[in-house]
Structure 1
Amino acid sequence: MLGTIDAVIIGALAFAGGHFALSSAPIRDRAVEAIGEEKFRGLYSLVMLGALVWLILAFRDAPYVEVWLPSAATKWIPNILVPLACILLVAGITTRSPTSVGGEAMMAEPTTLKGILTITRHPFLWGTGLWSLGHLATNGDLASILLFGAVAVLSFAGMPALDAKLRRKVDSAWGPVAMTTSVIPFLAVIQGRTSLDLAGIGWWRLGLGVLVWVLLYGAHPYYAGVWPHPG
């Protein structure tokens, strides 16, 4: 089955659609009631890991089917977006957040919503979203569109879906989080609902994010087969 576009379609649907299906209230609530929260999280992670592995392997072996031909200028787009994505990914992973797994305890501590959370309460998803958009801009084949499109849909549609799940789960405790943070970067700062906390982000997170980008950039020909530099 691998080595076909159909395999990539199956992987993309399983990875993106599986996240939304397993997180939906009817399925999630019944599963948690039946096997418990921790076992559900473990099963959820295992299923999604399997879907991701399938998607990557299917993408690797997929035939090249051109949908559109990117211009040389579009190569600048990932070179602008991916460094930002790496910083957001590092900041999202290293910052305790109410939107991360097990982060509900922060709902009772709104004063802990600092650092990158003053820019957006979904830094990790913005990171994956920008990464996928950057690669969509410079890859016009069908397999790439399916792979990066699935990640983009999961990232950007996942933000309101995750907010809705948390709002339903913690009820009124979600209010302070929604009031002092925003999905759209810098919106809460612009509206005066919070203050930008650059010190809380820390120079080390910015530096580590840039370092991750440099390493990925330098190794790109080895794991992706192409040099990402424009021109």
Structure 2
Amino acid sequence: MQPMSLLIVTCALFVASHLVLSHPFRDGLAGRLGERGFQIVYSVVAIATLIMVVQAWRGMPPEPPLWTVGDGLWSLASLIVLFASILFMGSLIGNPALPAPHAARDAAAAPRGVFAITRHPMMWGFALWAIAHIMVMPTPGQIILSVTIVFLALVGSAGQDAKKARLMGESWRGWAARTSFVPYARQLAGGAPWRDTLPRGHALFGGIVLWLAASWAHGALGYMVAGIWRWVG
């Protein structure tokens, strides 16, 4: 199989396995295996298909970029990754979308910080991270990989809305009514104040640390030098 075909097939398998196990097959498997057993199966499949994608991507031959990437595009992409890092770190605390026993309690709280921006900050963090990679690494292989991540993150979030509404009932529907799927949609529509979107301390400082560490590791591991490390050090 040609490298590009292999990458497309493994990306499709990665997406399909996630969506099938997360939604149509989830209840049946969880009923037979138990919640813990299902999580083990889900994790094994996710890791195995991810390894397949990574190996296929590493096997891609060198490709010329589809457009020229200068400092301006690198600066914009770096800011997008910083924002994505803040969304991700903020999503780790008080997130009703996570499988936590206190999800209903979290959903009853007023949306603040990253949750006032979007009710799926973790998934939007992944999607924005992938979009930034397309901007500065515009090769066909990278675009296919990044589009796969964007698709899985956003389609998976939409599916999560439906699943959470079924599992949590009114508590999730109330949360969904007070939040937006698209970042800043409620603020742009005049339905919520902009001051609510200011990130909390753990999101802001954690996001900055994650951004600095991840962009530093990008160059340290032999990939393209990223973030502010392109201009300092």
- Do they superpose with TM above 0.5? yes
1:52-201 matches, within 5 Å, as 52-66=50-64, 68-72=66-70, 73-93=72-92, 95-102=93-100, 105-106=103-104, 110-111=108-109, 113-190=111-188, 191-192=190-191, 196-197=195-196, 201=199
What is the alpha-carbon distance in structure 2 between the residues aligned to residue 84 and residue 96 of structure 1? 19
1:31 to 25, 29, 32: 29
User: 1:31-53 CA distances to partner (integer Å, 9 max, x unpaired)?
Assistant: 12221222112211221111112
Q: Given the superposition, is the C-alpha separation of residues 112 and 35 from structure 1 closer, same or farther in structure 2, using an over 3 Å criterion? A: farther
Deviation at 1:163, TM superposition (A): 0.4
What's the Cα RMSD here?
Answer: 2.7
Deviation at 1:173, TM superposition (A): 3.0
Deviation at 1:196, TM superposition (A): 4.6
Q: Given the superposition, is the C-alpha separation of residues 208 and 109 from structure 1 closer, same or farther in structure 2, using an over 3 Å criterion? A: closer
Unaligned ranges ≥5, structure 2:
none
User: 1:110-160 CA distances to partner (integer Å, 9 max, x unpaired)?
Assistant: 126444222211110111011000111222222211211111111122221
Q: Given the superposition, is the C-alpha separation of residues 38 and 76 from structure 1 closer, same or farther in structure 2, using an over 3 Å criterion? A: same
Q: Given the superposition, is the C-alpha separation of residues 154 and 162 from structure 1 closer, same or farther in structure 2, using an over 3 Å criterion? A: same
User: 1:34-80 CA distances to partner (integer Å, 9 max, x unpaired)?
Assistant: 21222112211221111112212221222134472344253333212
CA contact (8 A) 2:89 2:203 kept: yes
Runs of 4+, deviation exceeding 6 Å? none
Hey, what does 2:45 align to over in structure 1? 47
Pairs aligned (count): 226
Q: What's the TM-score, normalizing by structure 2?
A: 0.84
